[in-house]
Amino acid sequence: MPAQQPLTALIHNLVATTLRTGGATADIPRRQLLRPDDQWYFPRFPELTRILPLTDLDTAFEAFISAHLTAFDDTVRFGAWINTADQTCYLDLITHAATAAQAAALARRYGRAAGRPVVAIYNPLRDLTTYL
């Protein structure tokens, strides 16, 4: 297992990757930037989603991650993506499912419980968004 990078280094890598590729996912407890995989991602806690301008993202990512540090585990990861239509950055506590059908069902359930619907699920390996 590779050595953990400090949280500040991970945040810097997350911001750089998000700005370069349009999004990034990280396993915060392991301090690892994750490569795209064939899973379907969606907000686990949609009520905690933050939508921010593309300014001072290092500070915004650090504040968001620090505020939710105890929520991250093997099933809850950090996700960021840029909405190119309005040039904003979305920060989420995300989870995943193996299939689009499983992800859609869970996303709808989590959205109902939070009082804020999840509008889409995303597969980073396939670069495929499915709107709910």
pLDDT confidence band for 110 (50 / 70 / 90): very high
Q: What pLDDT does residue 6 have?
A: 86
Task: Give the residue extent of every domain in the chain.
Answer: 7-124
Q: What pLDDT does residue 69 have?
A: 95
- The Cα 71–Cα 74 span in angstroms is 10
Q: Where does the chain show beta strands of DSSP type E?
A: 23-27, 32-34, 40-43, 50-53, 77-83, 88-97, 120-123, 128-131
Q: How far is CA 75 from the centre of its chain?
A: 12
Q: What pLDDT does residue 2 have?
A: 53
Q: What pLDDT does residue 103 have?
A: 98
Q: Where does 6-59 show beta strands of DSSP type E?
A: 23-27, 32-34, 40-43, 50-53
CB 118 within 8 A of CB 42: yes
| pLDDT one-digit tens code per residue, 25-82 | 999 999 999 999 999 999 999 999 999 999 999 999 999 999 999 999 999 999 999 9
Query: Is this structure's pTM higher than 0.75?
Result: yes
Q: What pLDDT does residue 1 have?
A: 46
CB 35 within 8 A of CB 23: no
Q: What pLDDT does residue 3 have?
A: 54
pLDDT confidence band for 22 (50 / 70 / 90): very high
At how many degrees (to 10) do helices 57-67 and 7-21 cross? 120
Higher pLDDT, 87 or 5: 87
Q: Which tokens go with 21?
A: 């590729």
